[in-house]
Amino acid sequence: MERASGFRLSLEQQRLVDETRHMALDTFEPLARSGRQGRADRELVRALATNGLLERIFPTEGPPSALELCLLREGLAGGCTDAETALALQGLGAHPIVRSGSAELVARYVAPVARGDAIAAFALTEPAAGTDAASIELEAARDGDGYRLTGEKTWISNAPDADVYTVFARTTPDAGGKGITAFVVPGDAPGLSGESIELVGSHPVGRLRFDGVRVPADHVLGEVDHGLRVALGTLDLFRPSVGAACVGMAQAALDAGLAYAAERRAFGRPIREFQAVSHRLAEMSTRVDAARLLVYRAAEILDAGERATKEAAMAKLYATETAQLAIDAAIQVHGAVALERGHLLERLYREVRATRIYEGTSEIQREIIARELSGPA
């Protein structure tokens, strides 16, 4: 796909966003509404594959394009947040295997995920190790030519329904981030159990328990004791696209606000003619465009093979905070009608809140940016 120039999308790229948003509205949203909320939706995942979207994030040659991932997530989030989440989780769960696994692991576990026949998950967070991933306690003890995993993971997207998990566990005690290893664990592994956690939004999340789950040595991703490289490399790729998803949600809220302000009348005229409303919409539009540009910039830097730690953090921070503000502002423009259960803005209001927490909280993004500004110690 042709690259954007100066963070302005080409016609082909803009068409991808628009077509994906229409597909989300017409095809994926009806499926999502009929599915089981808060659980992995296999029918929706299969539809993503059938409509050619999963293959775009699992290219046959080379790594996925960070910018294309952003365009897909922006388009999907503008029409169906459940579809956007499903696409992102397939990538997040399986990308570490593509990045650091053997050809046999990729063929066995990633190929079904890319076809929409299997559900993937990224299992990093623990009850006492969220933002501080170096504090992981899930034990991976040597057992002959493999390992035994014992402990717990929580707030894991697609748990407990996934068919394959990328799991991060401690192989060397008291070694901090240098003692963690990444493993591929099948969802039906003996000793692995879990349960769903109900959230405010419909995001599929659960906890996992590992009771001596045996993992063969050939299911290690990358090098033993260097699993955080696998985790951080994956998060670096996906962090800007979290911002892109928020841009999609914010744009949907802005579009709804503009349409309602044009049709809703008060005191004999459309409410868009009142400065309090028009200026609020102008502020929303400016912030959404600024967030979009930050997202595109971070993605382009990544696609150029360059380090984008600061830019990705800025994109994730600004876009998630902007989406929260934009959706809240759109609700204010609508008034009470937007609070009715099932209204687009009511759903977006519930869905957007988690984005300021997962894959690094807003506070952590500010810490990353501040550290990058300070330069080497």
- Catalytic residue IDs: 359
Q: Is residue 226 helix, strand or coil? A: strand
d(CA 213, CA 211): 6
* Short-list 110, 90, 81, CA closest to 46: 90
**What does residue 170 show for φ and ψ, rounded to 5 degrees?**
-90, 120
Do the Cβ atoms of 21 and 76 come closer than 8 Å? yes
Q: Is residue 331 helix, strand or coil? A: helix
Greatest pairwise CA separation for the chain in angstroms: 80
Query: What DSSP state is assigned to residue 163?
Result: S
d(CA 2, CA 360): 30
Q: Is residue 7 helix, strand or coil? A: coil
* Short-list 264, 248, 251, 273, CA closest to 329: 251
| The amino acid at 81 | T
Query: What DSSP state is assigned to residue 65?
Result: P
Residues recorded for the chain: 377
DSSP E strands in the chain: the ranges are 120-123, 139-143, 146-157, 164-170, 180-186, 192-196, 205-216, 220-221, 265-266, 269-270
End-to-end CA distance of the chain: 39
d(CA 105, CA 56): 20
Query: What DSSP state is assigned to residue 109?
Result: I
